Structure 1
Amino acid sequence: MMRGLILFRRQLHVISRSETSIIKPSSPTPGNLKQYNLSLHDRMMPNSYIPAIFFFANITSSSDQKSTIANLLKNSLSEMLSKYYPCAGRLRSCGSYVDCNDEGAQFVEAHIDCKLSHVLERAPAKEHEEGLGHLFPPKAIWDKLNAEEQSSLVLVQLNHFTCGGIAIAVSLSHCIGDAITFFSFISYWAGLSRHSGEHQKILHLRPHIVHELQPRSIDNHNITFDYPDPEKYWITKEIVFQNCNIAKLKASVEIKDKLQGLKEPDYTRNELVTALIYRCLVSAAATSNSGEYAKSFLCQMVNIRPMIDPPLPQTRVGNFIDYNNIPTSTESETELNLLVERIRNGRKQLRENKNVDENTAIATEFRRSRRIFAISSICNLPLYEMDFGWGRPVKATIVDTLLADCIILMDTSSGDGIKAIVSLEEQDMKNFLDNKDLLAYGKF
């Protein structure tokens, strides 16, 4: 009986995709802006798509309304691409620049044979059967962009559900920008859709694009970076840390601080959840390794726009990130208060150290001798503020991760906690989910 129910649920998610459209910029890119050079740090990023999806309830009820929504999104995307003109171009095979040839973004419209509620609780994974992969265009979830095939740098799929809800799936090439760029891109698109013809209201969302490489001294087209592109072998889970449980965790750490005679720092939610997850990850890996704590390190990607002198605006397009690397070798080094202190010291050093290449070299050296756990946060970014004209999304999420041992933190939709997308190999995931500290504060 149960098996029949499972098969029935799977059959609900049959997709009917209409013909793919190519959305071109509403105005041509000027001749002097036709070549958008990628900085060394852009080229150091994995050449893959960053995927996010936004769910909206009870938007359409008729074919005319569906057509209106689709046309609104296409028209506003076209306007947006005239400002984010590199996103309408094509990456050249050398990988050092984008040909801003206005070839446009790929836009797919799909009809999903189920209600929106049937997919809202699915894991943020790419698998068709268990996750959200069928709501994206093919090869849009952390897949490598194929420069030889002149692939679009932006992939969009508009999904219509039988209940009238919709989901907008967006993937942007990482070579164009980081998470800040990605959400600035979508915010501007949503603003154009919401304020059609009233562009003065969204001037603050317009992108800042600098065409020249920064700095010129590292403009070496012969430099290439290769990231693995494995078939997915890891498991992806979503874990929620509600604010009430984070408060309990904070109280627990503060008690230990008092017992040790330490000054009580004002712990943030992000610091505590990051430290707790890393401690549980290292413990899970040790359990898989017969209890032996291996050399590991916590790698945090940090937005350095506000650290640059003068500070860059959040709408500055590109990959402006540095790495906060925290190595550990023993269980004692994963005590939460110690980890938070080292995280803070690392961020302080990043503000003082302008040599991003040096930090990248350190991370590269660590990768040779230690296991890396990459924990990134998009908390406080406008994930749930993407209003295209019919209200905020009922759910929004990044889907899956580039590799195993990657964790992405984001706010919950109601603002009552932090959600973590965790990707681990099967045995590590089993040990991780059995961790008593994780069970005390996380829900999955």
Structure 2
Amino acid sequence: MLPNFYVPIILFYSNSQQLSSKTTVPNLLKNSLSEALSKFYPFAGRLGSAGSYVDCNDQGVQFHEARIACTLSEVLNRAPGADEEKGFGHLFPTRSIWRDLLTDSCLMVVQLNRFSCGGVAIAVSISHRIIDGTTLLSFLNYWASLTRDPSDQEELTRLQPHFVYELLPQSCNENVLATQASYPERHWITTEVVFHNSKITELKANQEIHDKIDGVVADQNYTRNELVTALLYRCAVAAAAKSNSGVYSKSVLFRAVNMRQLLDPLLPRTTVGNLFMFVTIPTSTKSETMFNPMLRQMRKEQMQLKGMKILDLKGAVPLAEKYAKMNHNLYLVTSICNSPLYDGMDFGWGRPDRATMVDAPFVNCFFVADTPSRDGIVVTVNLVEEDMKNFRADNELLAYASFKFES
């Protein structure tokens, strides 16, 4: 039900030299990767001709090595775009950043980058057809733990993958053609915006004041994710309106919701697959992007998903096409907050200095994650140039957030 493109993530480490001198980093990673794939065995297979199932033929994944003629610190100070010179494009294998997989391609590719200072970066891309963000992090968490301490069977058992075939639609077989999608080539700016916890607390307090003014008596107990999502969408739509001579166009927020803890019965966090659904909130006026209606609708839509026995079979692509045909501008927000993005990614030489998703498959995307020190939220933002200019100048956004990189 999802396009077959690579989802790219990269992990940067400055202290890999702490490894034992008896073991080289490449060999250590390749050996542990092979062992990890024996558990996550579909990743080592190939998609069937129709693209709707995985032939678990154990053909393996690609592992590339690259020496980078600069220090790690020079690259850490770049925005997470796919650009070769200003971004992270050269740290990934060719065509593995949000690009369609070619026929009979590996479902997973890895590149180990070794910098002149001794630091390393591990770039990983896996087909979105078979994983969501939670599964991607679960795999990396397992691989890192296996590399760090292969004797810790208790930890490895806790992290091993969980497969739930009964949730798959019965029609998924070799005769069913999987979702195909094509996106127009569009150029956009990629940057990061940071919301410190103190500022999110301030945003929450201000919203509670507005709630009282509007007659909302009960404490809504807004989450960080809800508040940041609402603010991002509100400011992005306002930026587009400013680019459009102040006219608000029809827009829709696509918010990805992890279904593992909403299904009945609940599923382990390590359950493999695309186990998420989209909450959609269409708007066409400025008033509809105000916090109260946005947050209320987000809560309402998510509550309707709770207790489902099986995933709704509505694919993401048909849903997006439905709104596109109605001339809505689509905005996608997906979050990996409260995931083991840092603490779980120790391969034996400490937590990563930086871990981030790279770029996006299309414009108007927001990838939300915890900051390395967990003192706030960092968001990778992709907007067209004029909208990004207006977004960066939005006073409401700047009251609670700061930008890490210049456009």
| TM-score by shorter chain over 0.5 | yes
Report the TM-score, using the length of structure 1 for normalisation.
0.85
Cα displacement string for residues 271-305 of structure 1 (whole angstroms, at most 9, x for unaligned residues): 11100000001101111111111111111011111
Counterpart secondary structure, 2:245: coil
The 5 Å alignment of 1:188-203 reads 188-203=142-157
Q: Choose the corresponding residue for 1:287, options 232, 242, 245.
A: 242
- The Cα of 1:135 is off from its aligned counterpart by 0.9
- Aligned partners of 1:245 and 1:442 also within 8 Å: yes
Matched, 1:164 2:118: yes
Aligned to 2:281: 326
Counterpart secondary structure, 2:86: coil
Q: Number of residue pairs matched?
A: 398
- The Cα of 1:212 is off from its aligned counterpart by 6.8
Aligned to 1:339: 294
Shift in CA distance, 210/261, structure 1 to aligned 2, threshold 3 Å: closer
State the one-letter code of the partner of 1:244. Answer: S
Matched, 1:391 2:372: no
- The Cα of 1:198 is off from its aligned counterpart by 3.6
The 5 Å alignment of 1:143-292 reads 143-146=99-102, 148=103, 150-210=104-164, 214-217=168-171, 219=173, 221-231=175-185, 233-263=187-217, 264-292=219-247
Larger radius of gyration: 1
2-side partners of 1:210 and 1:144: how far apart?
26
Counterpart secondary structure, 1:117: helix
Aligned to 2:14: 57
Percentage identity across aligned positions?
Answer: 51
Aligned to 2:378: 419
Q: Which has the higher contact order (CA 8 A, sep 6+)?
A: 2
Cα displacement string for residues 8-30 of structure 1 (whole angstroms, at most 9, x for unaligned residues): xxxxxxxxxxxxxxxxxxxxxxx
- Aligned partners of 2:52 and 2:172 also within 8 Å: no
- The Cα of 1:435 is off from its aligned counterpart by 1.1
- Aligned partners of 2:63 and 2:109 also within 8 Å: yes
2-side partners of 1:206 and 1:435: how far apart?
44
Counterpart secondary structure, 1:396: strand
- Aligned partners of 1:282 and 1:296 also within 8 Å: yes
State the one-letter code of the partner of 1:93. Answer: S
Q: CA RMSD in A?
A: 2.1
- Aligned partners of 2:110 and 2:124 also within 8 Å: yes
Q: Choose the corresponding residue for 1:376, options 322, 334, 351.
A: 334
2-side partners of 1:388 and 1:308: how far apart?
32
- Aligned partners of 1:279 and 1:334 also within 8 Å: yes
- Aligned partners of 1:124 and 1:421 also within 8 Å: yes
State the one-letter code of the partner of 1:223. Answer: L
1-side partners of 2:225 and 2:158: how far apart?
27
Aligned to 2:34: 78
2-side partners of 1:230 and 1:375: how far apart?
20
- The Cα of 1:58 is off from its aligned counterpart by 2.4
- The Cα of 1:411 is off from its aligned counterpart by 0.5
- The Cα of 1:252 is off from its aligned counterpart by 1.6
Aligned to 1:442: 401
Q: Name the structure with the higher helix share.
A: 1
- Aligned partners of 2:260 and 2:266 also within 8 Å: yes
Matched, 1:404 2:360: no
- Aligned partners of 1:52 and 1:170 also within 8 Å: yes
2-side partners of 1:67 and 1:113: how far apart?
23
- Aligned partners of 2:53 and 2:172 also within 8 Å: no
Counterpart secondary structure, 1:307: coil
- The Cα of 1:394 is off from its aligned counterpart by 1.1
Shift in CA distance, 364/349, structure 1 to aligned 2, threshold 3 Å: farther
Structure 1: give runs of 5+ residues left out of the alignment. Answer: 1-43
Counterpart secondary structure, 1:350: coil
Shift in CA distance, 129/82, structure 1 to aligned 2, threshold 3 Å: same
Q: Choose the corresponding residue for 2:96, options 131, 140, 144.
A: 140
Counterpart secondary structure, 1:376: strand
- The Cα of 1:188 is off from its aligned counterpart by 0.7
Shift in CA distance, 231/199, structure 1 to aligned 2, threshold 3 Å: farther
1-side partners of 2:75 and 2:314: how far apart?
44
- The Cα of 1:93 is off from its aligned counterpart by 2.5
